A and B are shown apart, each in its own frame.
Chain A
Amino acid sequence: MRDHTDQLRANWAKDAAPAVPACRVDVSDLTVARDRKTLLNIPALTLNAPGPSVIIGPNGAGKSVLLRLIHGLLPATTGQIALTDPSGGGAVKQAMLFQKPVLLRRSVSGNLGFVLRQQGVPWRARRARIDELLAQGHLQTRAKQPARSLSGGEQQRLALVRALATGPDLLLLDEPTAPLDPAATREIEGLIRQISASGIKIVMVTHDLGQARRLASEVILLHRGQVQEQAPTDRFFALPRSAAAQAFLSGDLLR
């Protein structure tokens, strides 16, 4: 376990300059209304920072709604979300990680095999790919265990590599470490850095400002369904410009 953490730290340093992201997200004239209440109102927002774009904000700000919209799990009332691959590599594939991992009632390998089969990976190639993914998630010794008997951190690591099994260009993470302890959180963050460095664009929601500072290339503050500020991470935390950001960082932003 110790070696593993050290390795993650080493990776962090190595991954400091991510590759060109595979994907950019352009939101235009977006509104979402439910029961005559406006949940989101974003005239324009572009997510194309090289590393993770991290969305923060108080509860009920519309962070998860935005992720679900990008993923296509919710319909927009008006407006568009366009995903483009700057290298011109065709349709953008995306995957999403939910706050509480939804693991199938099968073994750890079975969960990965299910997604690979769904992706049309031939049976012969699946075994090798499963082993790669298990190694990436540090789950080799867990392969045959029922997925739901894993610890919370292991379950989220499995959910993360299972999302990778779909071969995404864009990975959406909805508070992936919210229920985890600090050690498990650090492992997930290490994986997220590796994934970002491999060229997969990451858009993530978090409540953890420390995590935003550690992972983000840019920070987006949502409040009452509107983007209050979008800035590079260092600038956002050192010199927040909007009143909302200043209030949020000092813990004074109300719903």
Chain B
Amino acid sequence: MQNFAEELRAALLLILSGDPDMWSIVLLSLRVSLTATVVAAAIGLPLGAILAVTRFPGKQLVVVVVNALMGLPPVVVGLTVYLLLSNSGPLGVLSLLYTPTAMIVAQVLLVLPIITALTRQIISELDGEYADQLRSLGLSRMQTVPTLLWDGRFQLMTALLAGFGRAVAEVGAVLIVGGNINHVTRVMTTTIALETSKGNLALALALGVILIMIALMVNAAVAATALRAQRLSHA
């Protein structure tokens, strides 16, 4: 432990030196998690909004299930995607196991419930305020969905950032379906786990620092979004 200061110094030097191997890991992490967030948003935003404005038997059950899925254990998602994509699995012919695409699929499954559930909450609340007015203006329930999504844009941005934060910090699912292969599927979190066990603390710490900075930036973006919404009286 007396080496901690030394390791941290080495880690910061590694960050500042622009080590290409390290940065390729960071870029792959960002690419996988951003893609997963975009895909999950494309499905989760409309899905959450429709769940908010429609009424059907068993809706409460669906809402409870979606909310519960927010806390899905990443390793279980990883295992499920592994079983689906492995050579003997139903999607084995696609040969996607141990590719970045497999990691994206796993992260989409993790992030989708978060974005869907938060969108449902946000849009439900907005709908309570807008429903009579939009009906008065002649919109059907389904027609209100794009309007509500647009008018909830600032709050929904925080839902997307929450989803991205979850994706980029997650280790269990990408480790199982990606395999942590050097230069192919090695991302920040899996590298930290591996390098720590190997005793290469400098690289692990360097990636840890970058991961924390990304988390800070995501939170700053959330705060800035809230501030801008308030300034426009759109909160």
| Chain A residues packing against B (C-beta within 8 Å) | 71, 73, 95-96, 98, 102, 104-106, 114-115, 118-119, 146, 148-149, 166
Nearest A residue (CB) for B143: A118
Inter-chain CA distance A98–B137, complex, in Å, is 12
Inter-chain CA distance A76–B214, complex, in Å, is 56
Cβ-defined partner of B136 (8 Å) among A71, A106, A149: A71
A106 with B129, Cβ < 8 A, contacts A146-B232, A148-B234, A166-B137 known: no
Residues of the B chain whose Cβ atoms lie less than 8 Å from the Cβ of A95: 136-137
Residues of the B chain whose Cβ atoms lie less than 8 Å from the Cβ of A114: 147
Inter-chain CA distance A96–B132, complex, in Å, is 10
Within 8 A of A (CB), among B118-177: 129-130, 132-133, 135-139, 147, 151-154
Inter-chain CA distance A238–B105, complex, in Å, is 76
Please tell me if the beta carbons of A102 and B130 are within 8 angstroms of each other in the complex. yes
Please tell me if the beta carbons of A115 and B137 are within 8 angstroms of each other in the complex. yes
Please tell me if the beta carbons of B133 and A118 are within 8 angstroms of each other in the complex. no
Please tell me if the beta carbons of B133 and A146 are within 8 angstroms of each other in the complex. no
Number of interface residues of B (CB under 8 A): 17
**Could you list some 20 contacts between A and B, CB below 8 A?**
A71-B136, A73-B132, A73-B136, A95-B137, A98-B132, A98-B133, A102-B129, A102-B130, A102-B132, A102-B133, A104-B147, A105-B154, A105-B234, A115-B137, A118-B138, A118-B139, A148-B232, A148-B234, A149-B232, A166-B138
Most buried by A among B133, B153, B232, B233: B133
Inter-chain CA distance A119–B234, complex, in Å, is 25
Inter-chain CA distance A108–B151, complex, in Å, is 14
Please tell me if the beta carbons of A146 and B234 are within 8 angstroms of each other in the complex. yes
Residues of the A chain whose Cβ atoms lie less than 8 Å from the Cβ of B130: 102, 104
Q: How far is the CB of A129 from chain B (nearest CB, A)?
A: 15
Residues of the A chain whose Cβ atoms lie less than 8 Å from the Cβ of B153: 105
Residues of the B chain whose Cβ atoms lie less than 8 Å from the Cβ of A146: 232-234
Please tell me if the beta carbons of A149 and B137 are within 8 angstroms of each other in the complex. no
Inter-chain CA distance A122–B133, complex, in Å, is 22
Inter-chain CA distance A148–B132, complex, in Å, is 18
| 10 shortest interchain CB distances as A-B pairs | A148-B233, A102-B133, A105-B234, A149-B233, A146-B232, A105-B151, A96-B136, A146-B233, A104-B151, A73-B132
Q: How far is the CB of A68 from chain B (nearest CB, A)?
A: 8
Please tell me if the beta carbons of B232 and A118 are within 8 angstroms of each other in the complex. no
Q: Mark B88-108, 1 if CB is under 8 A from A, else 0.
A: 000000000000000000000
Nearest B residue (CB) for A101: B133
Q: How far is the CB of A30 from chain B (nearest CB, A)?
A: 20
Question: Told that A73-B132, A73-B136, A102-B130 touch, could you supply 10 new A-B pairs with CB distance under 8 A?
Answer: A73-B135, A98-B132, A98-B133, A102-B129, A105-B151, A105-B153, A118-B137, A118-B139, A119-B138, A166-B138
Cβ-defined partner of B151 (8 Å) among A96, A106, A118, A119: A106
Inter-chain CA distance A146–B138, complex, in Å, is 23
Residues of the B chain whose Cβ atoms lie less than 8 Å from the Cβ of A98: 132-133, 136
Q: How far is the CB of B24 from chain A (nearest CB, A)?
A: 41
Q: Mark B209-235, 1 if CB is under 8 A from A, else 0.
A: 000000000000000000000001110
Q: How far is the CB of B148 from chain A (nearest CB, A)?
A: 10
Residues of the A chain whose Cβ atoms lie less than 8 Å from the Cβ of B232: 105, 146, 148-149
Nearest B residue (CB) for A162: B137
Most buried by A among B136, B138, B139, B152: B136
Q: How far is the CB of B202 from chain A (nearest CB, A)?
A: 48
Inter-chain CA distance A102–B126, complex, in Å, is 11
Within 8 A of A (CB), among B54-99: none
Inter-chain CA distance A255–B138, complex, in Å, is 35
Residues of the B chain whose Cβ atoms lie less than 8 Å from the Cβ of A96: 136
Nearest B residue (CB) for A104: B151
Inter-chain CA distance A249–B151, complex, in Å, is 44
Inter-chain CA distance A99–B19, complex, in Å, is 62
Residues of the B chain whose Cβ atoms lie less than 8 Å from the Cβ of A105: 151-154, 232, 234
Nearest B residue (CB) for A148: B233
Nearest B residue (CB) for A150: B233
Q: How far is the CB of A120 from chain B (nearest CB, A)?
A: 10
Inter-chain CA distance A73–B129, complex, in Å, is 14
Nearest B residue (CB) for A68: B132
Inter-chain CA distance A105–B147, complex, in Å, is 10
